[in-house]
Chain A
Amino acid sequence: MTDDSIYGHMKDEGVSRRDFLKMCGLAVGAMGMTSMPPLEASGLPATLNHVEKKSIDHVAKAMETQPRLPVIWLEFQDCTGCSEALTRANAPTLGSLVLDTLTIEHHEALSAAAGFQIEEAKQQAMEKYAGQYVLVVEGSIPTGEHAAYCAIGGRTAEVILKEAAEKAAAIIAIGNCSSFGGLPKASPNPTTAASVTDLITDKPVVNIPGCPPIPEAFVAVITHFALFGVLPELDKLNRPMAFYGKTVHDRCLRRPFYEAGKFALTFDDEGAREGWCLYKLGCKGPTTYNACASIRWDSGLSFPVQSNHPCLGCSEPDFWDGGGFYQGQSAPLQKPSMTTAGVAGAAGLAIGAGMAATAKAKKENKK
């Protein structure tokens, strides 16, 4: 066994076999794995085929054979909230799992280096790991005549992204901004911000939307790729099915109150105190695909609805423009203009009355 492997690295760090296997179990759980990816497609050694078809053995075998995965992390029009959320993932084993599995070659916020030095380091890493590294993108990308709104070292975000994407093995768009455009893209979209998938079409892209996304989702995807060399199963919006396959509403702990018709109507009424459903306070849970309600945040401590706030729908495209946060999810996006409706109504009345009057005149002529 070479020391290039993930397990080799961990052994160097003093991780026991027992702890290693525990970690494998954690990785299985984190990936939400219920079935194995097709091995032929993954390029993994055929020996893996012979191991027992148990997820944990599968993962252990992969960790013993796969090298650590290089990662290049780019930030554009973002708030670093996604990175924050990930590094603050309150599970030490999870954090170390990430660090053990990956070598983060470039991350502006985490690097000690800055300026030309870090740019140079990035170029070197891109050369060294060409075709192997995973590109993680945080933040949306301004385009067109507004491209200059985000530039690093005199080069626009668009150029930087395309350059880095060219040699990447896969791209992970973390957060709503890089997945769908997020806040920068909200109407009126002053920077003509675009998402990664808007700009990159020739590479596999995984979207992990959220504001911020659930750290476990990112960990699972990157671990999956590190171990098996393929991306997990994705939905139509390129989101990993294991985390974005069900709506918040589906798994919500307040769902029974929805079914029973018990709703909080204001934030300080009896219903809110009793922990009733927040649907009527504008909860977007029914249209929001995310694992908040099952995985929750801060090691399963809580999630917005549990903390008495309706879901904003942050893992969905254009959630900033999806109607007021406290307006019912089923309501029309804008109220029809009263003036237009009034004018149209008056026109309708006038046409009707006019036609009727003509008919009436005709009728009286016949008498």
Chain B
Amino acid sequence: MTDKTMDVFIKKTGGWAASQLEACTRCGICAEACPYYLSTGNPDYTPIWKVELLSRAYQQRYTLVGKVKTALGFNKAISDEDVRDWSLIDFNACSMCGKCAAVCPMGIEINKLIGTVRAGVTAAGYTPKGLMDKAKAQDEFGSPNGDGPEAYADWFASAEKEVGIKVPVDVKGADVLVVFTSLEITGKKSNLYSLAQVLEAGGVSWTTSLEARDAFNMGTIVGNGKLQKKLLGRIYDAAKNLGVKKILVTECGHGFVALRDNMPNIFGEALPFEVTHIAEFLPKLIDDGKIKVDASKYDDGKTYTFHDSCKIQRAGGIMDEPRTALKLLVGDNSFKELASNREEGLCCGGGGGLRAIPEAFDNRMAAFKLKLDEVEEVDADVVVSTCNNCQLQLKEGLGFYNVEDVEVKGLIEMVADALVLN
């Protein structure tokens, strides 16, 4: 099985990865950024240690010193057991949040290298079962929770009843293709209604698609290149067929980054359309005066704070826009930054597919405690996030620690609730 892991490592190790593997000085500072290490104190969770498998494979196969050491018998070949061990730390104790890359003195993109290790582990078949089941389900049905096109069609249709808006489906020539996350259809159907209201109010020419319905990408999470390409391909083809100018991703983080940054490289061409996220699209609507919001709506004496999601904020770079919008909605005085914010934002603990791995529950809750401490430190009543996965994790965590006075909200619903209709 390790052969398959090696194949993946060989395929993915170019100058980009090699130069960073060579740069590590073993200083251990990355651990101090990792929510899983910080909350559990387990040194195995040190981010760069999660890359050790790849690093070892690189040393053994690509360098002269490594080859000499192998010839002299100093190197231990990577065994099945190693791959299984690394599955436990790379999947169960890593949300690929990338904070380690922010503190690394050498600037190593540790989270991306962990992605490569994940791909190697997946190739060998040691991915945690919970996660792999979701990946298989998405491969089969299109969504990890098994929701097919019919379920989506029903959901889209329900908007008419809920908010009186007929959701455009597969409309050719629309400007914006809205792509959802499967978490919304299972857990937060209202997002569609809120978003539809906002888009209609802003006079946006938009459409949804039954083919390109889900930005969720299990291929990205488990590191299965084929699945990732297949899932991206659906959206890519649909967007091309419909001739849209923009893909608007709703509350999905990893899917957004996969579409914006990975898709062009996977399909080998610069995208003929733009990929944007509601975290920057909605604030722009407000900014451009397309929609009007009633700021007094949130004049409720509550303290609001913003949770930086790893993929949308740190990896996506969309940090100023949601903050501007939020401050406009709740007022500068009601808004408080968490101690770790923006590039240094602390992970909610549930990213990177961790929520689909039952064995990772303890790690997930331990990591969430760090976030909770920061939230309690600023005495926030409402935590606003632009990522649905984060919201679910935050809610679950709050429930786990019996915190009742903190609310979790999405940016879409906040904008929609404050919308002033002409």
Contacts and interface: CB of A to CB of B under 8 A. Distances in A.
Q: Do chains A and B touch in the complex (CB under 8 A)?
A: yes
Interface of A: 351, 355-356, 359-360, 362-363, 366-367
Nearest to B62: A359
* 3 closest A-B pairs by CB: A366-B11, A359-B62, A363-B10
Contacts of B7: 366
Nearest to B15: A356
A356 B61 CA distance: 10
B260 to A, nearest CB: 24
Given A363-B14, A366-B11, A351 B62 contact: no
20 contacts: A351-B64, A355-B62, A355-B63, A355-B64, A356-B15, A356-B62, A359-B10, A359-B13, A359-B61, A359-B62, A360-B14, A362-B10, A363-B10, A363-B11, A363-B13, A363-B14, A366-B7, A366-B10, A366-B11, A367-B11
Contacts of B11: 363, 366-367
A355 B67 CA distance: 11
Interface in B7-23: 7, 10-11, 13-15
Nearest to A367: B11
Nearest to B13: A363
A348 to B, nearest CB: 10
A25 B62 CA distance: 77
Nearest to B61: A359
A231 B11 CA distance: 77
Contacts, number: 20
Nearest to A348: B64
Contacts of A366: 7, 10-11
Interface of B: 7, 10-11, 13-15, 61-64
A49 B326 CA distance: 100
A352 to B, nearest CB: 8
Contacts of B62: 355-356, 359
B223 to A, nearest CB: 15
A355 B62 CA distance: 7
Contacts of B64: 351, 355
A361 to B, nearest CB: 11
B11 to A, nearest CB: 4
Contacts of A355: 62-64
A356 B63 CA distance: 9
A130 to B, nearest CB: 65
A359 to B, nearest CB: 5
Contacts of A362: 10
Contacts of B14: 360, 363
A331 B139 CA distance: 67
A365 to B, nearest CB: 9
Nearest to B8: A366
A327 B333 CA distance: 69
A367 B7 CA distance: 9
Contacts of A359: 10, 13, 61-62
A363 B57 CA distance: 14
Contacts of A363: 10-11, 13-14
A363 B11 CA distance: 5
Contacts of B10: 359, 362-363, 366
A356 B11 CA distance: 13
A221 B54 CA distance: 70
Contacts of A367: 11
Nearest to A362: B10
A359 B7 CA distance: 12
Contacts of A351: 64
B48 to A, nearest CB: 22
Nearest to A351: B64
Given A356-B15, A359-B62, A366-B10, 17 more contacts: A351-B64, A355-B62, A355-B63, A355-B64, A356-B62, A359-B10, A359-B13, A359-B61, A360-B14, A362-B10, A363-B10, A363-B11, A363-B13, A363-B14, A366-B7, A366-B11, A367-B11
